[in-house]
Amino acid sequence: MPLDIVRIPAFSDNYIWLVHDPDSDETMVVDPGDAAPVLAEAEKRGWTISAIWNTHWHPDHTGGNQAIKDATGAPVIAPAAEAAKIPTADRLVAEGDTVTLGKHVATVLETPAHTAGHITYHFADDAALFPGDTLFAMGCGRLFEGTAEQMHANLQRLAKLPPETQVYCAHEYTLSNAIYAHVAEPGNADIAERLATVERMRDRGEPTVPTTIGEERATNPFMRASSAEQFAARRAAKDAF
């Protein structure tokens, strides 16, 4: 059976993802910055959290680790390069490692730039991607601990995934990203159309993620940058936008 993937809003604009395998009855949570809504959602659904998967060390992604561990005994899987910043980690993973939820297998992709040891989880057979703060709908993460060259390479790598791949972003940034994208590529009809759609969705209070790799190829100015230099210019412009 396919994975059940539940969006849990947290803070002002975070999304925590609760992922359940109906066949094994295993459940994991991706980047729980806040434990309370995660534990409440799992209890409501009758699911027991069996693992916590972190993409990077930022507190809005790891702040709920300890409380969920205390409540469920779930181990924390985290990027090896950020072990010192994620003291709750039980298993450290790096490029090419695999993590499982029942029979569903995710491969670890190292995607540094937002943070130095950032990773992404890719379920190839399920066409699902959990990129943390590397890839957003029509955007990407800020370069807090890495370079434009790194992030450009990350996005080009992710762009090669099948277009139907569902991208479970960690933040609701799409409207501001779409407004900038329209400025970056004013002649892109796909961006103009998506901006109008996103505006309507946000006016109704609807979430705009997950997105897909195909949508991002067509409308994400950072993924569409033709070089690291163009990416750097766009990232700097968005930071000041």
Indicate the SS3 state at residue 11: coil
Catalytic site residue from 20, 21, 34, 56:
56
Does residue 182 have a known ligand-binding role?
Answer: no
Catalytic site residue from 20, 21, 34, 114:
114
Does residue 171 have a known ligand-binding role?
Answer: yes
Q: Examine the residue annotation and report whether 104 is marked as an active-site residue of this protein.
A: no
Does residue 70 have a known ligand-binding role?
Answer: no
114, 133 Cβ separation under 8 angstroms:
yes
DSSP state of 14: E
Indicate the SS3 state at residue 173: coil
Residues in Cβ contact with 86 at an 8 Å cutoff, skipping those fewer than 6 apart: 54, 57, 62, 65, 76, 78, 79
Q: Examine the residue annotation and report whether 118 is marked as an active-site residue of this protein.
A: no
Q: Examine the residue annotation and report whether 133 is marked as an active-site residue of this protein.
A: yes
* Cis-peptide, bond into residue 75, ω within 30° of zero: no
Q: Examine the residue annotation and report whether 25 is marked as an active-site residue of this protein.
A: no
Strands (E), the chain: 4-10, 14-21, 26-30, 49-53, 76-79, 91-93, 98-101, 104-110, 119-123, 128-130, 135-136, 139-140, 166-167, 211-212
Residue 206 neighbours by CB distance under 10 Å:
9
Catalytic site residue from 20, 60, 104, 118:
60
Phi/psi region, residue 74 (left: phi>0; alpha: psi -120 to 50; beta: rest), is beta
Catalytic site residue from 20, 58, 122, 152:
58
Catalytic site residue from 31, 34, 126, 133:
133
Does residue 58 have a known ligand-binding role?
Answer: yes
Q: Examine the residue annotation and report whether 20 is marked as an active-site residue of this protein.
A: no
Give which of 187, 38, 66, 54 is closest to 108, Cα–Cα: 54
Catalytic site residue from 61, 118, 122, 182:
61
Residue type, 150: Q
Q: Known catalytic residues?
A: 56, 58, 60-61, 114, 133, 171
Which residue numbers belong to the known binding site? 56, 58, 60-61, 114, 133, 171
Which residue numbers belong to the known binding site for Zn(2+)? 56, 58, 60-61, 114, 133, 171
